[in-house]
Structure 1
Amino acid sequence: MLASQVEQQQGDDEKKPLSISEALDVAKGSLEKLKLRVLGEVSEVNVKPGYANAYFTLKDETGTLPCQMWHDRFEKCGITLEVGMMVELVGRFSLYPKKGRMHFQVFAISVAGEGMLRQQVAILQRKLEAEGLMAPERKVPVPAYPMKIGVVTSPRGDAIHDVLRTTRRRFPLAHIYVAGVPVEGARAPEYIVEGMRACFRARVEVILLVRGGGSYEDLMPFNDEQLARAIVKCPIPVVTGIGHEPDTTIADLVGDLRASTPTGAAEAVTVQTSQLAAQLRSMGEYIAQRQQQRIQHATLSLDRYATRPIFKDPRSMFASDLITLDIAHDRLSRALPANIERDKTRLAAYASRLSVKPAIFDRASAKLENYSSRLRSSTASLDRNTLRLSAQCDRLREVSSKLLTPAQHEVALKAGRLHDLSPLATLSRGYAIARDGEGRIVKHASALSPGDTFEVTVADGSICATVDSIRASERSDS
């Protein structure tokens, strides 16, 4: 459109020229129709929370490009721009007419090259860290002296030789189980996980996940999410030694122990034999010292017990009891004869008193026999009286039965007459009793007036009613 307008203006010199604002509007409209993808290096960044836009500049060998991006869109992309970072932008050119300045309006931004890989790793790191997979309390402690060590690495790399050489030098008693797997390529994480499973099946005590140095792209298999989750689920402690000192991968962060190099990983799970021997000597000396102290303490205690009188003369332990026993024996030997003589005297007195008792017993026996005979005669008289009383009771029941029969008949007749005369019986035959408000029985219709309330008693209850009207009987009152 701009070219057509320029050509049209050149071909027709008689037309009015465009103003500055009109020319800028034409340029702005033409530029905003071009949507481009731009690659460059960040040379300047100006991102402030209060601004509506994020401002930054890209450059290459020969030129610079001022860029702006809406602040909310910039925050959603999740990228922290730094000077020197290679980025790829999607946007269009725009023109600010008031200032006559052109800039690149950015729609999307992504990190290019190695930076993109680092961004992906950073996003995965934040995700796993939010799940708690990198928490120290989750990690499994490494055994102090593992005898079976599994190594997952490339069988042709320098890492396996470093591990074998270090282990053979420091702790040759350990058995090494090597799971040779590829450590580069798209399927490397899958093979590494399978190598860890093989070590688990071999029942090793610790797994070394190692490889030598390389570029950031070479270490990407160790930034794989599935490998990271396999390390977390592994019940055997995993020690990582990947790359060189500054290299840090996701596997290092989720592993149970991180070493800077493969050699460092081997050193972390082994102990030097000389150091082990020194520890054993130190422990032996400590045990010997402690045993010597215990023996000395026991000897002093034994000497202290040996000086006690009881161990020199065991009878001194019972000396006071023996003296008490002798005193008691002496007192008993003197008391027994006197008590026996006193008992003999009392026994003789009781014997003399018992010799007089037979005469008293004879008199008492005669009295007892007399009382027995009198009791027997009283028992016979009681039996006669009992028979006589029984006969009189029989006669009394016979006479009372004869006397009660006429009275019972008379009571039955009167009860029947009373039942016939009872108002309740009358009510049960369908009659009713009317009472006025004061409880008096209504005998005449004139006793009530219209509007009065009265109570009608029937067989099974009472009915409250109100007089609406009064109809006099045709028969005259007698």
Structure 2
Amino acid sequence: MSDYLSVSALTKYIKYKFDQDPHLQTVLLKGELSNFKKHSSGHLYFNVKDKNSVISAMMFKGNASKIDFEPKEGDEVLLEARVSVYERRGNYQIYVNKMHIDGIGNLYQKLEQLKKKLTKDGYFDSNHKKLIPKFPQKIAVLTAGTGAAIRDIHTTINSRYPLAEQIQINTLVQGEQAKNDIIEKIKQADELNVDTIIIGRGGGSIEDLWNFNEEDVVKAIYACETPIISAVGHETDFTLSDFVADVRAATPTQAAVMATPDQYELRQYLQQLKLSLTRFINQHIQQQRKHLEHVASYYKFKTPTLLYDQQIQKRDDLEKQLNLNINFKINQHNQQLQLMKQNFNLKYFKQSIQREQTTISQKQMELNKLMNHYITKQKNNLTAKLESLNNLSPTNTMLRGYTIVNKEDKVITSTNDLVENDNIVLTMKDGIVDAQVKKVRCNDDQ
């Protein structure tokens, strides 16, 4: 047993080796900050990564107070540090003495700019979010055909709600062709008449997840008519697809949980409903049975004639009263009819008609007389006016020897309107004479 080392002993030995190596005492590193956290004590804890590797790091409060900028996620930095081992967890890490900014991470900067733009355009507004169906019949799963994500989703759905049909759509989730493939598969899934779409993949760096930050992918998710659950990366990974999706799941497993009800909870709920319904039905039957027994004990049901003998007597009374009322009305109307006959004398009525006919004949004769007199008077007036008009007529005037003088189609009524050599037209009773003025003599010239 003495040949076996404890874990603590081995860890101390490895730490000793790190601390004694002069090449690890001062190391200059260049990388990107991730998982950056500032402890309440003032110490900084973070990771430094590049495309292929990640190193855990910490910076004590004293050294952190000397930093000339505000470190944040995605910053590209230059570090001076020593490499050692954290004994409690057995992890190697770097202890940073100095940190300088080496420019902002391009992808993080691009991500923030795109996030602001899409937020302003309303792609992340909550009023565009659709509800996830509680009891889906079909679920489309868009992810890589192999890997933990698809296994976790399928296993969880089969365990929770095996009634749901799963439609797996193999999708590229990384690489240059992934963006177009994701957009195409979203449109394809939207046309399958499924209830829910899950878009997912495992975790990774911002570069690995970048296809889910592409603007065209965000717009494709926004335009999708089917509710979408985004499950991209791990719990701490956020992409723009998460913000535009109807629901964001921290992991693919959680996405499957959000998309389906739990069959065991449903069974338990249905069992509770069954018990409640059975209890309610039994109580209702008991209540109705008691009510029936109470009604059956009523004395009138024991002697059924009591239910209708009073009604028969009442019907007879009403029939008798009805007959009396009818006879009374008939007698009353007969009396009124006799009275009207007495007041109405047919002989007197005929005499009245004859008197009115005589009066009408007299009035008609008087009217004819007045009309004839009026017509004769109007004829005489018309004849007198026609004679007066005829006396004033130019034709009659010309019959008495007068002539009408016209010059240029105008009637001449004064010698002042004529001059020597004027051509004039003389209209007489039996014709027209064309003439020329030789001399004009006015009454004033005599």
What is the TM-score with the length of structure 1 in the denominator? 0.47
What is the TM-score with the length of structure 2 in the denominator? 0.50
